[in-house]
Amino acid sequence: MATTDVYLIRHGETHANLDQLFCGHSETALTPLGIAQAKAAGHRLAGVEFAAAYASDLSRAADTARHALDGRDVPLTLEPRLREMFYGDWEALPGKQLEESHRDLMRDFFQCRAPAPGGETVTELRARTSEAVRDIVARHRGSAVMVVSHGNAMMALMAELLGLPHEATWSFAFDNTSLTRLHFSKSNRLTLFGLNDTSHTVGLGL
């Protein structure tokens, strides 16, 4: 049967995560723990025969994929549509600072009522991420594929694929290098096998 399994992974811990920044299209590097998380995800998936891997072209996602695939002959494609949400004027700013200076805008953002000033809308984010994954699935029928992306991008992707309403977009949680498995049938029916699985990272932060 031409079914496809997508192993969806959030990037490893970054310095922007530690500083609690709104880091969308801005660059930030993996921390040593983030690298260890990525390698652990790779070990966890060592038994999966991937036909291909795709990652956001932002370095934190691309590097996570490279560490996870270390030693394996799996082609990696960088896909800009898998990028994190673009936060406009909020790019690289601390969330705590924005909560103090833009309380109403922050409330509207988290309730999916409005984007960050100058930033990407939830509708736009849902459209581009889901389009990317549907294209990947169509390209690799009957195979397993690794996809590495970002927290809010993955929330938007899941909400769109599952047909959730706009206001329910931020209804998920994706920890660093968490594993979520999406199974697409021949007719593109989606079945969710596991969500935000971080069992491979247990003990890494000690």
Active-site hit among 11, 25, 67, 150: 11
> What's the number of domains the chain is made of?
1
Q: Determine, yes or no, domain membership for 128.
A: yes
Q: Determine, yes or no, domain membership for 206.
A: no
Based on the residue annotation, tell me whether 49 is a catalytic residue of this protein: no
Active-site hit among 13, 25, 79, 84: 84
Kind and range of the H or E run holding 195: strand 190-197
Report residue 191 as tokens: 């079945």
Question: 44 phi and psi, to 5 degrees?
Answer: -60, -35
Question: 37 phi and psi, to 5 degrees?
Answer: -60, -45
What's the pLDDT score for residue 99? 87
**3-state secondary structure (DSSP) of residue 154:** helix
Q: In CATH, what number is assigned to the domain containing residue 53?
A: 3.40.50.1240
What's the pLDDT score for residue 1? 62
Chunked mean pLDDT (size 10), the chain, 206 residues = 92 97 97 98 97 98 98 97 97 92 91 95 98 97 97 98 96 97 95 96 86
Q: Determine, yes or no, domain membership for 30.
A: yes
Q: Determine, yes or no, domain membership for 202.
A: no
Separation between Cα atoms, residue 26 and residue 198, nearest integer Å: 25
Based on the residue annotation, tell me whether 15 is a catalytic residue of this protein: no
